[in-house]
Amino acid sequence: MKNTRLSFLIFAFMLTAICAAEEQPNILWITSEDNGPQLGCYGDEYAITPNIDALAQTSLRYHRCWSNAPVCAPARTTIISGMYATSLGGQHMRSGVRLPEDFRTYPDILREAGYYCTNNSKKDYNFDSEDGGWDESGKKAHWRNRPDKKTPFFSIFNFTVSHESKIRTRPHQLKHDPAKAPLPSYHPDTPEVRHDWAQYYDKMTEMDQQVGKLLADLKADRLNESTIIFYYGDHGSGMPRSKRWPFDSGLRVPLLLHVPAKFSKLAPADYGIGKVSDRLVSFVDLGPTVISLAGMKPPASMQGVPFAGKYDGSEKKYLFGYRGRMDERIDMVRTCTDGRFIYMRHFYPDRPYLKHVDYMFQTPTTRVWKEMHDAGELNVAQAKFWQNKPVEELFDLREDPDETTNLAKHPEYQKKTTELRNTLQKWMQETLDLGLLPEAEMHRLSDSQSPREYALQHKKLFTHLGDVAFHSMDEQHGYSIPDLLKLANDPSSAIRFWAVRGLAIRSSSDMRRMRALMKASKDESPSVAVAACDGILSQENSHERQMGLKRLMELADVNRHGHYAAVAALNVLDMSADLDAAERKQLANLPRQAKNPPARLGKYVGKLIDHATTKE
């Protein structure tokens, strides 16, 4: 052990000496929360963002950068790891997954190269530890705190004034005229919606002022000629159907890259002051890119491709996005784009797009939008997002930037649909997408090791799971009932889960289906049992329904089967069960929180119980 430690120290010393032989750039990341490209430099005439616009005039602007995840914690998990969050099991909002033993973040690697790394101030990773590898992380973290002026720095400054929570803060005196606010076609045109959009743009202006102040500080410290600057948003806007949803509206973020003349050799090949790059980039590429800018080769474990620096990689043909559990609501969506067309695959087509997420419903737009849907006051494009989803969707971003017209079934788009469908499935299988395991099952199966290590040991399983998940959820073109009945008896609980999910969503009168669901409701895997009960509840006023309801109540007891199984059971009870007064009382009496809940997850069980027992 001592020899290993000594070898590592010698390696780190030699690496530092090599890097020191050639001057290293300082690197500054400026990030803003919950905003897409609603900026003047991206052609938005309603936006007032002079400081970022000025930075764009001296930078390369990326036309399409994706955050990979449309919400903060999974997106930050992707950035800090240089890996798709789905490959770590960290795609769910507010989750704490165990990391592999040899895991290293990009700050770990930069520090080995001699960088002083600071984060001001948000971490928010979906790991069981939030260390991140920083020299300093917090509200006082700053490049000015480095040990001496010769030490190169990597610094992040994260501005929260544009966060979703700031959009709905009242009272607020609007500066942008709400009558002129550009509304997407899927939002209803109401005073509440216009106010929220106008306030969002007000907050973008405030954020822009903070960016200007930071850039002025950099210049005052005479560091602007030796610092490579990135500016980006952390995912789409905080408005509903952007944040939390892997449409382009939820994944597309602004990205500016400024490389001073001193380090021009580190700039991308298409770099030019004030130019626009059509190169497809995403958050998984950010960590490898800064490592490359520091003169180091990114580790093979990182899945991103550097788009600048010594190890600038090949351009990507596709970008990928993902949605997992969003707070208390379980979902699974995967997205792929070639830059013009976006393909979306839904693994819970039996659920609506917009489910009741307590935090999201605090925004006035969300509430009025849902109220108008329930009153039948929306047009087709607006009503769509409160209805159940199709299995797959294809959108043409050039002709339909709001992504409201599904082209997946149009004959003239079958070739493109097939291309992106196959590309997405292959990516899920090759990257060992842990979303193919329901969250409770992922934790149950990985047990004492990290989910990533479990996946690496079961690569063949994940290849099979990719096929099973795709075909089980496609009632029209997927597996038949006999196929699913066979898979429902598979030795693997993960395979059984998707087979049972497939049986649950199919509207078949085949009695073998119900017998299989009843059997699966007693499965040793709580995830399989929950999936079975979901299908059983469709039997109105039947003995089977009462049995399924009883089993779900057991599974929803957080102290019997754990937090993740309880959340899954409560999702089904809330979405599928029409509970009578006695059943609501029984549900209300369940424990609202585990004795030792996972970090930051304690309130989700209680929120689900509240909604299921109080909704009309």
Which sequence positions are flagged as catalytic? 72
8 Å CB contact between 307 and 286: no
**Hey, what are 38's tokens?**
């609603």
C-alpha separations of 590 from 578, 598, 600 in Å: 18, 18, 20
Most distant CA atoms of the chain, gap in Å: 77
My answer on whether omega of the bond before 314 falls inside 30° of 0, hence cis, is: no
8 Å CB contact between 32 and 203: no
C-alpha angle with apex 514: 512 to 516, nearest 5 degrees? 70
Q: What does the alpha-carbon distance between residue 290 and residue 306 come to, in Å, rounded to a whole number?
A: 8
C-alpha angle with apex 231: 225 to 233, nearest 5 degrees? 170
Q: What does the alpha-carbon distance between residue 233 and residue 65 come to, in Å, rounded to a whole number?
A: 10
8 Å CB contact between 342 and 394: yes
**Residue 175 CB neighbours (<10 A):** 12
Three-state SS for 321? Answer: strand
User: Of how many residues is the chain composed?
Assistant: 616
DSSP string covering 481-539: HHHHHHHTT-S-HHHHHHHHHHHHH-----HHHHHHHHHHTT-SSHHHHHHHHHHHTTS
Residue with tokens 């199919």: 506
Residue with tokens 């944040």: 243
